[in-house]
Amino acid sequence: MFSARRLGLTASTIPFVLFSLSGAAMAQTKPAPAPAADEPAPTEAEIVVTGSSLKGVAPVGSNLVTVDRGDIENLGANTVQQVLKSVPAIVGLNSPGQGGFGSFDGAGTNAPTIHSLGASASNSTLILLNGHRLPVGGANHVLADPNIVPPMMLERVEVLSDGASSVYGSDAVAGVINFITRRKVDGLELNVQKGFGKQYGTFNAGIVAGKTWDTGSVVFGYAYSNRSNLNAADRSFTAANQVARGGFNFADTNCTTATIVANGRTYYAPYTAGGASGVPYVSGSVANPIANQNGQCDLRQYWDIIPSEKRHNAMVSIHQDIGDRLRLTGDFIYSSRRNVQNISRGVASGTVYLSGAPAGASNNPFATAAFAAVNAAETAAGRGAITSATVNFSGDTLLGRGAQIIGVDETFYGRLDAEYDISDTWRFNVGGLIGRDKSSVETLGRLNPSGFQLALNGRATAVLNGISTTVSQALTATNAIDVFGGNGTQAGTLATLTDSRIYQVGDQTINNFYAKIDGDLFQLPGGPVKVAIGGEYSSYKINQDTVQPNGLGAASFNSLAYNLNYKRNVKSGYVELYLPVIGPEQNIPGIRKFDLNISGRVDSYSDVGSTTNPKIAANWEIVEGLRVRGNWARSFVAPALTSIGSNAQGRTGESGFTGGPAVTLPYALFPTAAQIPGCVATATSCSVGGATGINGIQINGGNGNLVPQKGKAWSIGVDLAPVQVPGLRIAVTYWHNELRGGITAPQIALVTNSAALSQYLTVYPTGATAAQIGALTATLPQTGTVLSPTYFIYSNQQQNVLNLNVSGIDLDASYRIQTENMGKFTLTAGFSRKTQFDQFFGATGATFSVLGVAGYNLTFPSLKYEGRYSVGWDYKGFDANVFVNHTGGYINWGNPANARINTNGLPTGGGDVVKAFVTVDAHLGYTFSDTGPFKSLQIYADANNLFDAAPPFYNTFTLNGAVGYDGTNANPIGRVITLGIRTKF
């Protein structure tokens, strides 16, 4: 049987390898890795197999890609995410692997994903540790982070890119990533690394210690990692003005002063110009209306594009035989992580009054002098002097640095397992695991919107417990904010403006108990028929606490706190049958071996009902070294607890309601919109929300009516290991996945232009009643300004509306050449090429392709190609490896101005071209053979992005995030040289 392995080439060797493989689509396979020379070989009972519940049986019909311990050392990896970059089927080959990835959770959870199928709401990739589930974490999401494992404790990582719910249950629609740890170590191993980059640095240290005896072993591992932050201003390609690169000018216009909007005109400091119409962000191909205005600035120095990160990971693994038949295993983990990201102070808007402030509000004492030039311009233009206006304000230059997001995570995990040999061929296994993850996100120092309103116009309003509440203060030079550049804001007011602490905690627990019996039933020509029958009981709980400002001023005195509790129980049963139908001894022409595997599983959820998922798979070995394989499976993803919510309304930590968005409602889908006051009945549509005066409400968060996402998958592949060419391994897999009822919050443009989604926006032509509003917003906090009357309510809650059809080819190959005088050479190549990425929304939505596109689905980047190639050399203590990482070019649909949108709100073309991103990594080491007290001593140097390639241009501006590059598919850090020493005692 083949299991798999990673691979690579330098660019100059790629043509040679492709030629030598006769143009075949490649995927790499290799036997299960052998233990190091100083470690005892594991017994068959200790071998963990991914994708099967049968001991010692490789997954039938699938290609299992393996990254072993030797690969991990050659990668110079100091995090699990850096290990995973060697598997192109996993999204993020060229991503930084620092901070949160794929999770959109401020706590910094890292969520690897196979084939771009899912991410933050519910990941369709199942993460396992030694074949069992991990604790899930996150302040607002429910995702497993494999980075809790010390990298030196990893024996290998196995990636199964096929549906596997028939064995593992939920989350395995796209496949499984199984992290398998070391079982037997004798002695002590140390590893210390120091990394150097431009305005960036790392330090990593690890230790593994173990003792093995006749009947058992114990292994302890610890890792410390400290990686610095990277400020947005530390990279030239993140400049706010991207016009020179063919993009937009994202420069801020609120540098030391606010912009003033009056009578439809925008005035920039020092307010002497006549104002400019239009928007500040315009394409480089169009004249910029504010290009010559004063006050433009680049505020990126106030935030980080990558947070600093410190980790402590510790693990103990214990094994003991009791007699000849009973084996006990225990795994225990403690992990802590702290991320700190500097962020912008934020922006705010509000009405400022020069005179005649309405009841409850106050005139701003700094406004009269600031508006002198504005009023002069307005009067000269015949529009008359103004007594109030809207100001748009950025807090960074007034308040300076100091805003941060601090993400903290602490994880505990323990598993006890007992396996008893009933006979020579039958085993009984029982065990349980418990895990707890406590994640927190603390946001400090941001501009407090309600504090800003109080200091700007003396009034702040919020809805508390369904009652509209207003606080007021009379403004003076002592308590008012001067947003006009006069430096009149007093210290006490400045402190109030940044009194905005938000604190969120997610305390998540898992309890899992399992039992299984497996063994041989009877003999077939190909070998014994094996069966496994098992069951599980799992319990999940989340205790979520949030403290946030209540919208009535400084958070120290005006905050609200709430607690949410979620829980779920799952009962599961499964069966797996392995049938080796034909064996070599039968000498059947064209069928050397034929194996069949049938499996099925039933899962019963306490909150979303039951689901049944079968799988059938087959291997057909035509001749020795040539095998065809295939499989078909149904899989599912249960709604995350933080998606389905803590009550019938779907209340989560992200739930709330605020003012409705600016949008155009076509009468063809929303006929009653023509009856809204202010809409023209003879027209074809009406603009509502925003500054139109036709107010609405937007509801965000979870949904108590969610059901499991369902998936179907099949694949067919060929494995080649010709006996005539020792050392050559090739595998190619064509795969197809279907996802139905994927969970996402549908975009407003789709809701208002698609009949399949229009149900998520309701029009109230005479205004919604208090009862109607209360029925939809009850128990939800108000998170922004809501104005009356309300003419529409838009549900931005998560829904089962996304449907995907995704196909592609995964290829891996390796060729190992052992020479007499020049050592051993290893050539490897692996890539994943998507051929289809179609999607549609709802049951009747139009199907469209997003293949080779980013920026449309934030959690489903659908790049066509990711590949990794390498060449390695081992000779007399020297080992060297060069890796080429290739992310193919794609289209950015994230800018609607450049993407073509049809009448149904769906993209049909256009967009910005993003070039391919190619980086080179290298490893060079030397192991001393005569090291006295050391078993071995190695010094090494690793280079990530050896040639310091800058990420390709991506026309984006994300406050507190990526600017000018793709934060999901590109790495802004640049070249990092790491020097290290590794030794064994």
- Same domain flag for 673 and 821: no
Which residue would you say has higher pLDDT here, 16 or 177? Answer: 177
Average pLDDT over the chain reads 86
- Same domain flag for 46 and 192: yes
The residue-averaged pLDDT of 48-69 equals 87
Q: Residue 497: what are its φ and ψ, rounded to 5°?
A: -60, -30
Q: Which range has the worst mean pLDDT, 19-28, 666-675, 786-795, 809-818?
A: 19-28
Cis check: omega of the bond before 789, within 30 degrees of 0? yes
- For residue 647, give the DSSP letter: S
Q: Which pLDDT score, from 0 to 100, does residue 335 have?
A: 96
- Which phi-psi region, left, alpha or beta, contains residue 971 (left: φ > 0; alpha: ψ -120 to 50)? beta
Q: Which pLDDT score, from 0 to 100, does residue 901 have?
A: 60
CA distance 871 to 826: 6
- Locate all alpha helices (DSSP H) within 705-769, ordered by sequence: 748-751
Q: Which domain holds residue 758?
A: 641-707+746-797
CA distances (Å), 586 to each of 594, 595, 720, in order? 11, 14, 22
Whether 774 has a pLDDT exceeding 80, the answer reads: yes
| Each residue's pLDDT tens digit, 477-488 | 999 999 988 889
Q: Which residue has the tokens 């290290």?
A: 980
CA distance 168 to 856: 31
Q: Which pLDDT score, from 0 to 100, does residue 653 have?
A: 85
- For residue 220, give the DSSP letter: E
Amino acid identity of 222? Y
Spatial CB neighbours of 494, under 8 Å, sequence gap ≥ 6: 398, 399
- Locate all alpha helices (DSSP H) within 458-595, ordered by sequence: 491-497
Spatial CB neighbours of 427, under 8 Å, sequence gap ≥ 6: 45, 55, 419, 420, 421, 517, 518, 519
* Residue 853: strand, helix, or coil: strand
CA distance 331 to 413: 8
Pairing, β 853-854 against β 890-892? parallel
CA distance 375 to 66: 71
CA distances (Å), 576 to each of 49, 158, 199, 426, in order? 14, 20, 53, 14
Residue-level length of the chain = 985
| Each residue's pLDDT tens digit, 207-217 | 999 999 999 99
- Same domain flag for 124 and 183: yes
Neighbours of 150 (CB within 10 A): 26
Cis check: omega of the bond before 270, within 30 degrees of 0? yes
Q: Are 447 and 554 in contact (CB under 8 A)?
A: no
Domain assignment present for residue 399? The answer is: no
As beta bridge partners, residue 938 has 927, 982
Q: Which pLDDT score, from 0 to 100, does residue 376 have?
A: 82
The structure tokens listed for 385 are 């002097």
CA distance 748 to 167: 38
CA distance 76 to 880: 12
Which residue would you say has higher pLDDT here, 873 or 386? Answer: 873
Q: Which range has the worst mean pLDDT, 153-167, 360-374, 669-683?
A: 360-374
Whether 314 has a pLDDT exceeding 90, the answer reads: yes
- Same domain flag for 687 and 664: yes
The residue-averaged pLDDT of 393-421 equals 93
CA distance 63 to 716: 10
Closest to 138 measured CA to CA, from 85, 102, 84, 174: 102
- Same domain flag for 337 and 212: yes
Closest to 17 measured CA to CA, from 723, 627, 732, 816: 816
Q: Are 249 and 288 in contact (CB under 8 A)?
A: yes
Q: Which pLDDT score, from 0 to 100, does residue 112 have?
A: 84
- Same domain flag for 49 and 117: yes
The structure tokens listed for 663 are 């949008």
Q: Which pLDDT score, from 0 to 100, does residue 558 have?
A: 92
Whether 22 has a pLDDT exceeding 80, the answer reads: no
Cβ neighbourhood burial of 496 (10 Å; 0-12, 13-18, 19+): buried
Domain boundary among the residues 772, 797, 822 is at 797
Q: Which pLDDT score, from 0 to 100, does residue 753 have?
A: 84
Whether 254 has a pLDDT exceeding 90, the answer reads: no
Q: Where are the beta strands (DSSP E) in 589-649?
A: 593-605, 609-623, 626-637
Q: Which pLDDT score, from 0 to 100, does residue 138 have?
A: 83
CA distance 226 to 223: 10
Per DSSP, the residues of 896-942 read TTTEEE-TTS-EEEE-EEE--EEEEEEEEEEEES--TT-SEEEEEEE
Domain assignment present for residue 703? The answer is: yes
Q: Which pLDDT score, from 0 to 100, does residue 294 have?
A: 44
- What is the helix (H) or strand (E) element at residue 326, kind and residue range? strand 326-342
* Residue 965: strand, helix, or coil: coil
Which residue would you say has higher pLDDT here, 802 or 106? Answer: 802
Q: Which pLDDT score, from 0 to 100, does residue 429 have?
A: 97
CA distance 799 to 753: 17
Q: Which pLDDT score, from 0 to 100, does residue 102 have?
A: 61
Whether 858 has a pLDDT exceeding 70, the answer reads: no
- Same domain flag for 835 and 877: yes
Whether 941 has a pLDDT exceeding 60, the answer reads: yes
Half-sphere exposure in the Cβ direction for 11 (13 Å, CA): 7
Q: Residue 761: what are its φ and ψ, rounded to 5°?
A: -130, 125
- Categorize the per-residue pLDDT at 44 as very low, low, confident or very high, splitting at 50, 70 and 90: very low
Domain assignment present for residue 323? The answer is: yes
Domain boundary among the residues 497, 519, 534 is at 497
Q: Which pLDDT score, from 0 to 100, does residue 898 have?
A: 65
* Residue 377: strand, helix, or coil: helix
CA end-to-end distance (rounded Å), the chain: 35
Helix, strand counts (H, E) of the chain = 12, 51
Q: Which pLDDT score, from 0 to 100, does residue 145 have?
A: 87
- Same domain flag for 169 and 254: no
Rg (CA), the chain: 30
Amino acid identity of 558? N
- Same domain flag for 606 and 694: no
Whether 627 has a pLDDT exceeding 70, the answer reads: yes
| Each residue's pLDDT tens digit, 451-480 | 999 999 999 988 777 677 899 999 999 999
What's the CATH number where 629 sits?
A: 2.40.170.20
Half-sphere exposure in the Cβ direction for 491 (13 Å, CA): 0
CA distances (Å), 850 to each of 398, 835, 947, in order? 42, 11, 32
**Total tally of structural domains belonging to the chain:** 3
Domain boundary among the residues 431, 463, 497 is at 497
Domain assignment present for residue 237? The answer is: no
Closest to 197 measured CA to CA, from 334, 319, 98: 98
Cβ neighbourhood burial of 10 (10 Å; 0-12, 13-18, 19+): middle
What's the gap between Cα 357 and its chain centre? 47
Domain assignment present for residue 844? The answer is: yes
- In the chain, the percentage of residues whose pLDDT exceeds 70 is 90
Q: Are 188 and 964 in contact (CB under 8 A)?
A: no
Closest to 164 measured CA to CA, from 1, 50, 6: 50
Q: Which range has the worst mean pLDDT, 342-351, 465-474, 792-801, 881-890?
A: 465-474
Neighbours of 700 (CB within 10 A): 19
Domain assignment present for residue 401? The answer is: no
- Same domain flag for 714 and 703: no
The structure tokens listed for 469 are 């509440």
Most confident region among 410-414, 547-551, 679-683, 757-761 by mean pLDDT: 410-414
Q: Are 933 and 952 in contact (CB under 8 A)?
A: no
- What is the helix (H) or strand (E) element at residue 641, kind and residue range? helix 641-644
- Same domain flag for 488 and 593: no
Domain assignment present for residue 400? The answer is: no
Domain assignment present for residue 953? The answer is: yes
Half-sphere exposure in the Cβ direction for 809 (13 Å, CA): 12
CA distances (Å), 12 to each of 6, 528, 869, 871, 917, in order? 19, 48, 11, 10, 17
Q: Which pLDDT score, from 0 to 100, does residue 121 have?
A: 61
Q: Which range has the worst mean pLDDT, 225-229, 248-252, 384-388, 512-516?
A: 248-252
Q: Are 28 and 4 in contact (CB under 8 A)?
A: yes
CA distance 238 to 235: 6
Amino acid identity of 652? T
| Each residue's pLDDT tens digit, 703-747 | 999 999 999 999 999 999 999 999 999 999 999 999 999 888 888
* Residue 61: strand, helix, or coil: coil
Q: Which residue has the tokens 């929300």?
A: 689
Amino acid identity of 460? A
Pairing, β 696-701 against β 792-797? parallel
Amino acid identity of 808? G
Q: Which residue has the tokens 């990254």?
A: 67
What's the gap between Cα 608 and its chain centre? 25
Q: Residue 674: what are its φ and ψ, rounded to 5°?
A: -65, -15
- Same domain flag for 727 and 676: no
